[in-house]
Amino acid sequence: MKMHAVVLALLVLCFASASTAQGYDALVRDAEVKIAAGKWEEALALYERAFKTGEFSHNDFYNAACAGARLGKIETAYSYLFKAIDTGFLDKATLASDADLESLHGGGTWQAVMDSIQRKMAFVEKAFPEIRAAGPVIDLPQPRFDGAVSVEAALKNRRSIREYLAKPLSLAEVSQILWAAYGITATRENMPAFLRGGFRTAPSAGARYPLDIYLAAFDVAGLSGGVYYYKSETHQLVRVVEGNPRSALSEACFDQPHFKTASAAIVYSAVYERCMVKYGQRGRDRYVCMDLGHSAENVYLQAHALEIGTCAIGAFTDLRLKKAVGMTREEEPLYVMPLGKVK
Ligand SMILES: Cc1cc2nc3c(=O)[nH]c(=O)nc-3n(C[C@H](O)[C@H](O)[C@H](O)COP(=O)(O)O)c2cc1C
């Protein structure tokens, strides 16, 4: 009897510690099951436990608001709705039509919710790239979706290359490399505007696509010397700076020797707010540069497959580079990747 009691006590202890140690993901998964079953009270309790771990996501705040609204806990529901919007919930259409939230409709606070999402959307829109100059728009040749070099061979053999053949690159070659960097690979109907045209060759945290990409053309056949903004939505270039930018870029990068022989360079910048509006400081500290690494590695691999050399450059004067490329104030320059035929 006593023995049984000890075993029972141990079991209870084990279960108790297992449930208190249950992590955020497990708690919200359980909460979603309860939501699907219409068990709002239990769902809300699980969400509240989940948020106590210190983690959150805008979708989970939103679901907690739905549970609160279904239970008639109006203040709780509003509090979670505002948190959802503050942390990046931008789906205004769902918010306006969601039957779970009907108990909140009408009244000043509901209007304040709608105003808040509208303001947030306007803020995100502002973080989009505007076309910086009404320069000529150039249609790029369609990229190819196959090639002679395997991914494995490109991974094994790519190197940072700092000296190139004095030969022009073709428009098809720069088109292929720009597509590899950030080209659209899946468009979908009714996508939110922040996807800016669709999913791309490079992954991006929360599909925010904070990077902007420029092509600095020094010696590209069929392209006059200048800096061009890559409009991945339409696979086009838009000229933003006229005249050959070789010396301006070289100076910005402390005259590293790459620019003596490169035929072009890719320049990356980021508008951090596109990512931060959803992820806050974590977006700035981590995700934007992770996005950059994914895209830049694509450039390394694609360039190698085309017998074009490149080298990631992180050493430059920010202000000089911004000026040379014609970046807007919101953009922060991140990388320069010279391109040229391999010797
Ligand atoms: C964040 C970062 C910054 C870099 N900056 C420069 C640079 O300013 N100039 C340069 O010549 N190489 C630069 N590199 C290239 C590295 O020197 C190169 O990747 C390293 O030597 C390894 O060689 P590998 O790329 O051929 O494997 C940079 C690389 C990274 C990842």
Domain ranges of the chain: 2-126, 137-341
Centre of ligand 1 from the C-alpha of residue 318, in Å = 17
CA pair distance 89, 82, nearest whole angstrom: 9
pLDDT band at 134 (very low <50, low <70, confident <90, very high): low
Q: Which H/E stretch holds residue 73?
A: none
CA pair distance 84, 213, nearest whole angstrom: 31
| Ligand 1 within 6 A of CB of 315 | yes
| Ligand 1 within 6 A of CB of 296 | no
In 53-150, which residue ranges form alpha helices assigned H by DSSP? 58-70, 74-86, 92-97, 108-126
CA distances to 71, 100, 248 from 31, rounded to whole Å, are 15, 15, 56
95-131 residue pLDDT tens: 999 999 999 998 899 999 999 998 887 776 665 555 5
Packing angle of the helix pair 40-52, 24-36 (nearest 10 deg): 170
- Atom number, ligand 1, closest to the C-alpha of residue 158: 26
CA pair distance 180, 183, nearest whole angstrom: 6
Q: Which H/E stretch holds residue 170?
A: none
Instruction: Say if residue 222's pLDDT is above 60.
Output: yes
**Structure tokens, 133:** 């100059």
CATH code that applies to domain 137-341: 3.40.109.10
CA pair distance 56, 183, nearest whole angstrom: 31
**Structure tokens, 59:** 């979708």
Centre of ligand 1 from the C-alpha of residue 224, in Å = 29
**Structure tokens, 262:** 């490169």
Report yes or no: 310 and 158 within 8 Å, Cβ to Cβ.
no
CA pair distance 244, 242, nearest whole angstrom: 7
Mean pLDDT of the chain: 89
Centre of ligand 1 from the C-alpha of residue 285, in Å = 21
Q: Which H/E stretch holds residue 191?
A: none
Per-residue pLDDT, 7 = 42
CA pair distance 114, 125, nearest whole angstrom: 17
Residue nearest ligand 1's atom 10 by CA: 313
CA pair distance 75, 60, nearest whole angstrom: 17
CATH level 3 topology of 2-126: 1.25.40
Per-residue pLDDT, 303 = 98
Mean pLDDT, residues 34-58 taken together? 94
CA pair distance 162, 29, nearest whole angstrom: 50
Centre of ligand 1 from the C-alpha of residue 337, in Å = 10
pLDDT band at 5 (very low <50, low <70, confident <90, very high): very low
> Does 2-126 match 137-341 in CATH topology?
no
In the chain, % of residues over pLDDT 90: 71
Residue nearest ligand 1's atom 13 by CA: 313
Pick the more confident residue, 189 or 22.
22
Residue nearest ligand 1's atom 29 by CA: 312
CA pair distance 243, 70, nearest whole angstrom: 62
Out of 158, 260, 313, mutate this one to test ligand 1's pocket (max ligand atoms within 8 Å of CB): namely 313
Centre of ligand 1 from the C-alpha of residue 142, in Å = 30
CA pair distance 268, 335, nearest whole angstrom: 5
Q: Is the pTM of this model over 0.85?
A: no
pLDDT band at 145 (very low <50, low <70, confident <90, very high): very high
